[in-house]
Amino acid sequence: MRIKSIIDQLIAQCPSLTDVKPAASLVAVEVDDPALPIAYVYSVSERSPVDPDSSTIQQRQEQRFAVLIAANSLDIDTGVDQMEDARDEIRAALIGFEPDNTMDPVESAEGEVVSIEGDLMWWRDEFRTWKYIRQ
């Protein structure tokens, strides 16, 4: 999966994110970094289940990608929750989005905490879409 269209969509639709990058640019992030929240996008998997009704010329393939978010967790004093705000924007930007004209609309698949280091939280949301691959 080419992730550039996903990154472009997030940049255009998620004003709370200070930056959106491919995971290859993942660098150390500090707590209280003024550049938070930040998101990294990467492909997770491709799976083509066997379908006895499908021809050998065409096969439906599930493609998954993830958005890894680094943000400060809930600030008790201000009530600001960078992580939840970022996740809300990301879901709104991606669910139903068609990365290109060969793919189905994006769906949410799952999400999980990756780590918590003091006030810095890392969260991974995984999304999926489908396309047909042809011989």
Q: Read off the pLDDT of residues 39-90 as tens digits, 9 standing for 90 and up.
A: 999 998 888 777 666 556 778 889 999 999 998 876 666 556 888 889 999 9
Do residues 11 and 20 touch, judged by C-beta distance below 8 A?
Answer: yes
Q: What are phi and psi of 15, to 5 degrees?
A: -65, -20
CA distances in angstroms from 126 to 32, 76, 80, 93, listed in the order given: 25, 28, 24, 14
For the entire predicted model, the pTM comes to 0.84
Sorted by where each starts, the structural domains of the chain and their CATH numbers stand as 4-134 (3.30.2000.10)
Strands 19-22 and 38-47: parallel
Per-residue DSSP letter, 97:
-
Q: Is the peptide bond before 52 cis (omega within 30 degrees of 0)?
A: no
- The pLDDT of 78-104, averaged and rounded, is 89
Distance CA 100, CA 127 (A): 15
Do residues 41 and 6 touch, judged by C-beta distance below 8 A?
Answer: yes
CA distances in angstroms from 15 to 10, 11, 58, 75, 93, listed in the order given: 9, 7, 39, 20, 11
For the chain, give the mean pLDDT. Answer: 85
